[in-house]
Amino acid sequence: MATEPTVKPTDPLTATPATLDPAQVDPAAPPATGPWKLAWRRLRRNKVALAFGVLFVLLILSALAAPLWAEHVANTTPDRNRLADQIIVDGKPRDIVSVRGIPMGPTWRGEYFLGADENGRDVMVRLLYGARNSVFIGLTAALITTVLAVLLGLLAGYFRGWIDALISRGLDVLWAFPVLLLGIALGVSLATEGLSIGPITVAGNSLWIPTLIIGFVGIVYLARPVRGQVLGLREKEFIEVARAQGMSDWRIMTRELLPNLFSTILVFFPLIMANAILLEAALSFLGAGVQAPSPSWGTMIDTGLDRLRGAPHLTIAPGVMLIMTVLSLNIFGEGVRDALDPRAKVRLEH
Amino acid sequence: MSTQPLLEVDHLKVDFRTDEGLVHAVDDVSFRLGQSEVLAVVGESGSGKSVTAMTLMGLTRSPNARFEGSARLRGQELITASDDELRKLRGKEIAMIFQDPMTSLNPVHRIGKQIVEQIQAHDDVSDAEARDRVVTLLDRVGIPRSRERIDSYPHEFSGGMRQRVMIAMALSCDPGVLIADEPTTALDVTIQAQILREMRDLRERTGTSIILVTHDLGVVADIADRIAVMYSGRIVETGTLDEIFYDPQHPYTWGLLGSIARIDRPRPHRLPSIPGQPPSLIDRPEGCHFRPRCRHEFEDCPKYPELEGRIGQAPGHDDRCWLPVEEKRDRRVVADGQIGLEAEGATA
């Protein structure tokens, strides 16, 4: 183990000031065990959470490798239509899309590994490119949520008074809206007109539209717990000490309070990201998220729904990807929470 | 007075508005603190000693607090100073050591970093330079192997060690005034003695003035030059260590002195205590606040007693008791050479 001390440290009680000669100070003293190291040790023992963490990393890597698969294995692009073509499978020619309009099922080899869709596009390739979009939106939206929610929670909890009232009531309003309806309303209106704030213009079919919407509606989930925690922390004696040291409010918030919030943020982040990916799929499924022809798991399920009977792989494949991604994030997130706060009441049974 | 005192507090009043009414936490408190002097502020819980100390730092400011009077540090007014001015003074000119070292350190930062933060909040120094200063400070407060311990987290320290870290932090910018709010209350007796010795040494070496807030007269006897006894928001008696211990004028002080357990006296049947409860700070007795608990009450007591010299030949030894000096000297003796509020068994 890397943390094993190479030299046994002298007992601090028996070490008298006379032995404090700098030359004698042992340079290989064990590094201090910080709270993060302790949490990592606990997480490392939770094999299930680690396995799902690894699964999530694999999903991300496969999304990153999408162009490699498309170019070298499937020999196609996510948008290439091959409606009237045939390919040779096991020596026999097969229609990519039959004359009755039913797309071919999985071939389990390079080209059309998971079959074709209604336009003769390679489902596997679109799935991988869709993963890129989903993960990009999930990650970016979760980052936007976290930054804004932590900022709002810190300001509300630290300053209290009218700042808190303003922020909390704003969150209440946001909370009162059904998230999905708010997302659809924003998505539909922004998708047709695009977004332009000052010099920044975002086109209606840009991925940033759903990303911003999802990041925005997620704020309530994190801002409230952060505010609550800050309200508790600000009464702690070390904050009083910081004030007595002459630290400014901003410094107290960023240097004293924020580091104490990291464990909360770390616990919430994977869960928020899972939520964001789900919401993206839901919005895309309803046509208010990622716009065609950009692939997304939500739109793929949406278009596959019409052909559920003849070509179930169109809905099953993106559905399974969605479940795996969200499940891995949730279970890994629970593991992180158990590691950071072993006394948390809600635990996952193994 | 030949030299200008470092800190002058005049008629300081602090009130807090609460749902129950106006709490008069500090009422007409005045004192002087000279260069490298140790002033002990003694009193039971709720006597206003901590509020006085925190007010000097501006830590009691809130929309519900009301301040009157003045406190000047080297001539600069603290009570009406802006938050910005005050922030520059905090840590730099006045530093504070808090009661509970277990919760006074941020659990997520290494201790060295916390002290570096404080140094860099006031002085524009490089990380390496600040770190060197921290090592010196940790050495000075008696933390062994300071060069390694600087990177430890608070949970790796014992209570006594954490309090030393707090002292090092308070001393990091060479403050003129160090306020220690019950610095040894949360520690075991053996560690208490060490910390007090440490503070005494520091005063001698650095010339820092110390305001020691405590309820423990035993702690005071070790280290203080002057004592201010507080009761119900007021200073009821102030004088030098010897004056307070050997010629106490106020019955409350007698009570405090009488309730110290002493190893050099025959063991009492029961440790004497002061009967009754401290008064509510909202609805206080008229005149002398100690009146309802005092068995020497007489007709002058409902008049407001000023804190003034009532002895004549001892300037600086002031109190708020109406009794004539000779009567006080007579009444405070409860047994052979012993001072107390009342003789043992008087209430039984």
Residues in chain B within 8 Å Cβ distance of A10: 145
* Number of independent structural domains in chain A: 1
The predicted pLDDT at position B55 comes to 93
What's the complex ipTM? 0.76
Kindly state the percentage of chain B with pLDDT values over 70.
Answer: 97
pLDDT(B49) > 50: yes
pLDDT(A326) > 90: yes
Assess if residue A190 is contained within a domain: yes
8 A C-beta contact, residue A116 and residue A97: yes
Q: Which helix (H) or strand (E) holds B11?
A: strand B7-18
Assess if residue A88 is contained within a domain: no
The predicted pLDDT at position A113 comes to 86
User: Does A91 contact B at CB distance below 8 Å?
Assistant: no
Work out the minimum CA distance from B190 to partner chain A, whole angstroms. 14
Cα A81 to chain centroid distance, Å, stands at 32
User: Does A86 contact B at CB distance below 8 Å?
Assistant: no
Q: What sign does the CA torsion over A309, A90, A62, A97 have?
A: negative
The predicted pLDDT at position A31 comes to 57
The predicted pLDDT at position B182 comes to 87
Assess if residue A203 is contained within a domain: yes
Assess if residue A28 is contained within a domain: no
Nearest to B87 among A12, A248, A262 (CB): A248
Nearest to A20 among B95, B110, B145 (CB): B145
Name the token pair of B252: 């409350």
Name the range with the highest mean pLDDT among A146-150, B188-192, B311-315.
A146-150
pLDDT(A350) > 50: no
Nearest to B147 among A25, A242, A251 (CB): A25
Query: CA–CA separation, B340 vs B348, rounded Å?
Result: 16
β-sheet bridge partners, residue B178:
B95, B210
Query: CA–CA separation, A147 vs A143, rounded Å?
Result: 6
Span A307-318, average pLDDT: 89
8 A C-beta contact, residue B317 and residue B292: no
pLDDT(B207) > 90: no
Work out the minimum CA distance from A345 to partner chain B, whole angstroms. 22
For B119, name the nearest residue in chain A, comparing CA atoms only: A245
Q: Do A20 and B139 touch (CB under 8 A)?
A: yes
Which residues touch A122 (CB under 8 Å, ≥6 apart)? Answer: A70, A74, A76, A78, A80, A111, A112, A113, A114, A116
From A97-106, A252-261, B177-186, B335-344, the region with the lowest mean pLDDT: B335-344
pLDDT(A202) > 90: no
| CATH code: domain of residue A174 | 1.10.3720.10
The predicted pLDDT at position A331 comes to 93
Span A68-79, average pLDDT: 84
Nearest to A35 among B108, B121, B145 (CB): B108
Please give the model's pTM, rounded to 2 decimal places: 0.77
Name the token pair of A105: 């099922």
Q: Do B106 and A242 touch (CB under 8 A)?
A: yes
Kindly state the percentage of chain A with pLDDT values over 70.
Answer: 88
The predicted pLDDT at position A54 comes to 94
Which residues touch B132 (CB under 8 Å, ≥6 apart)? Answer: none
User: Does A237 contact B at CB distance below 8 Å?
Assistant: yes
Among residues B49, B138, B29, which one has the least CA distance to residue B99? Answer: B49
Domain of residue A189, residue span: 127-299
Nearest to A260 among B98, B108, B139 (CB): B108
The predicted pLDDT at position A24 comes to 42
Residue B223: CB atoms within 10 A of its CB come to 18
- State the best of A7, A33, A229, A241 to mutate against chain B, taking most chain B CBs within 10 Å: A241
From A70-74, A239-243, B165-169, the region with the lowest mean pLDDT: A70-74
Assess if residue A153 is contained within a domain: yes
Assess if residue A110 is contained within a domain: no
User: Does A38 contact B at CB distance below 8 Å?
Assistant: no
Q: Could you please report the per-residue DSSP string of A294-349?
A: S--HHHHHHHHGGGTTT-THHHHHHHHHHHHHHHHHHHHHHHHHHHH-TT-S----
The predicted pLDDT at position A117 comes to 84
Q: Which has the higher per-residue pLDDT, A85 or A240?
A: A240
Query: CA–CA separation, A209 vs A243, rounded Å?
Result: 42
User: Does A236 contact B at CB distance below 8 Å?
Assistant: yes
Assess if residue A91 is contained within a domain: no
Residue B334: CB atoms within 10 A of its CB come to 17
Q: How far apart are the first and last CA of chain A?
A: 26
The predicted pLDDT at position A30 comes to 54
Assess if residue A55 is contained within a domain: no
